[in-house]
Amino acid sequence: MDEDRFGEAEKLGSIMARVIHRLGLARRKEHIALMELWEQVAGADVADRTRIVAFRHNVLKIEVDSPALLHELTFFRKSELLEGLRRGQPAIPIRDILFIHASD
């Protein structure tokens, strides 16, 4: 590349990193990884009745389809699930899980 005409050459990796960031692709990849991990950690039965709705400020927000399951996950399984998620994706810092009931 002619440095006089184009200035300093930039590495393709740094260009791609900026493009991925601008398009939000890194967040989508993180979301997909969390969805796959959630199914593994929670199990297929629970995963079928829940859905990840947000991941902000290191808090995973999960919508639950029934009050009974919401109660079970919040009070009896939250610690176990949080630990499984942290073990399964140590690169994604999950501080907490917030379970919410799905609105009709």
**CATH number of the domain that residue 23 is part of:** 3.30.300
Domain count, the chain: 1
pLDDT tens track for 23-60: 555 567 777 888 899 999 999 999 999 999 988 899 99
pLDDT given at position 16: 61
For the segment 64-87, the average pLDDT, to the nearest whole number, is 96
Asked if 57 and 91 count as a contact pair (C-beta separation under 8 A), the reply is no
Global confidence as pTM: 0.72
Is 62 a residue whose pLDDT tops 60?
yes
Helix (H) or strand (E) holding 68: helix 67-72
Parent domain of 47: 3-101
For the segment 12-20, the average pLDDT, to the nearest whole number, is 64
Is 13 a residue whose pLDDT tops 70?
no
Asked if 56 and 92 count as a contact pair (C-beta separation under 8 A), the reply is no
Dihedral sign, CA of 3, 7, 11, 15? negative
